[in-house]
Amino acid sequence: MSSYDIDIERVRREIPATQRVIYMNTGWSGPSPRCVVEAVKARLEFESFEGPTSRPVLESRMQLGKDTREAIASLLHVTAPEITLTQNTTEGINIVLNGLEWAPG
């Protein structure tokens, strides 16, 4: 197996919904892998126990954003300040489009 091959059985084990249905990516919604579900559960628990606006939660959120930008920058061979995180694709596209100087024609 080359570094580009995908272990489809491993992917299916990681995404429980694929045990019962065939999932064809719709581009907007889909089942999450177990690791994502566990990370979201852990974050919700952390914010629930600490308080969503507490210092530990806010500091953690800032660090998570910084770490995420650095990881993406490394993947794309750019610097972290060149990376902007958005809520979704539509927001990202709107940021780009609103930055253009539009003219008639």
pLDDT at 105: 86
Read off the pLDDT of residues 16-67 as tens digits, 9 standing for 90 and up. Answer: 988 888 878 777 778 889 999 999 999 999 999 999 999 999 999 999 999 9
pLDDT at 54: 98
How does residue 3 score in pLDDT terms, banded at 50, 70 and 90?
Answer: low
Q: Where are the domains of the chain?
A: 8-98
Q: Can you read off the two tokens belonging to residue 86?
A: 């958005």
pLDDT at 91: 96
pLDDT at 5: 87
State if pTM tops 0.85: no
> Per-residue pLDDT averaged across 2-14, rounded?
84
Helix 34-50 / helix 55-76 crossing angle, nearest 10 deg:
150
